[in-house]
Amino acid sequence: MILKRYLSLIKFSHTIFAMPFAVLGFVLGIQAITSSLDWRLLVLVALCMIFARSAAMAFNRYLDREIDAKNPRTAIREIPAGVISPSAALVFTIISAVLFIGTTWFINPICFKLSWVALVIVLGYSYTKRFTSLCHFVLGLGLSLAPIGAYLAVVGHFAYLPILFSISVFLWVAGFDIVYALQDEEFDKDNNLNSVPAVLGKTRALRVSELLHFFSTIFVAYGIWMAVNEYSQLGWLSYCAVAFFGGLLFYQHKLVKPDDLRRVNLAFFTTNGIASLIFCSLVILDFYV
């Protein structure tokens, strides 16, 4: 019961957004050094993703507890509803952050040294809507660390190809977070909170999101084109992956209209989760089939 409460607090099911890209970055690293799959290292990378995201989500809920209590949409969240105390959420944040840093120590020196940078980004996101409408892009930056971080875990240095996928994730996440923020446009305005919908309105915010998703698809396509040229085993499955990813992002914008937000959750949770999972699964499958 307690575990279920904390899993709900951090929306553990939403790990599906970035985790597939972390696995893709890991596989790209394995291919770059022509090594066999290291299951121990893969588990460590997955744990880093889980601990970092858990710290970020718990801290977000802790910091936003008073804001969430005022918003009818979020008043049922664990802290304002009294299911989890603020102090317990803060302790959970600290434990998750320590576990994240500790796990990077078992990976390699560069991941350990950069672990605090990742934490500053993912924890700092929670403050951003208080002073900038670019908060969506900070969230995108946090999740974009997944592919390049996993690649670093394997190879120990930066490379061009995983950075392309990180840029795609950055644009993709910022775009779908703007869609999600449409629900709180009026609340944000009334409470001096910043978001793209609060500044631009629903219609123009959707146009910004569409543009971000267009360029996200461009970068993911360019990344696959580069990968196909670098790795001879990649082919039609990877190009199908791009088509699925771009198609689902396009479909997402067919679901949400400025005057009809009833399907925001379908667009935000379901469509984006499937897009990430299918894209990365097909590319990874292309490596090993």
Where do the domains of the chain lie, and which CATH numbers do they carry?
2-288 (1.10.357.140)
**pLDDT score recorded for residue 148:** 97
- DSSP for residue 184: G
Number of Cβ within 10 Å of residue 235's Cβ equals: 12
Residues of the chain with pLDDT under 70: 1
Number of Cβ within 10 Å of residue 176's Cβ equals: 28
233 close to 286: Cβ distance less than 8 angstroms: yes
**pLDDT score recorded for residue 4:** 82
What is the total residue count of the chain? 289
**pLDDT score recorded for residue 59:** 97
Q: What are the backbone angles phi and psi of residue 79, rounded to the nearest 5°? A: -75, -55
CA–CA distance, 277 with 281 (Å, rounded to integer)? 6
CA–CA distance, 75 with 69 (Å, rounded to integer)? 5
92 close to 6: Cβ distance less than 8 angstroms: yes
- CA 205, 206, 207 angle in degrees (round to 5)? 90
CA–CA distance, 272 with 46 (Å, rounded to integer)? 20
Q: Taking Cα atoms as reference points, which of 150, 255, 278 lies closest to residue 209?
A: 255
75 close to 68: Cβ distance less than 8 angstroms: yes
**pLDDT score recorded for residue 37:** 84
C-alpha separations of 109 from 49, 96, 105, 152, 157 in Å: 17, 20, 7, 10, 11
Q: Taking Cα atoms as reference points, which of 48, 91, 19, 29 lies closest to residue 231?
A: 29
**pLDDT score recorded for residue 214:** 98
Cα 252 to chain centroid, rounded: 17
Q: What are the backbone angles phi and psi of residue 27, rounded to the nearest 5°? A: -65, -40
Radius of gyration over every alpha carbon of the chain, rounded to an integer in angstroms: 19
Helix (H) or strand (E) holding 179: helix 160-181
Instruction: Report pTM.
Output: 0.96
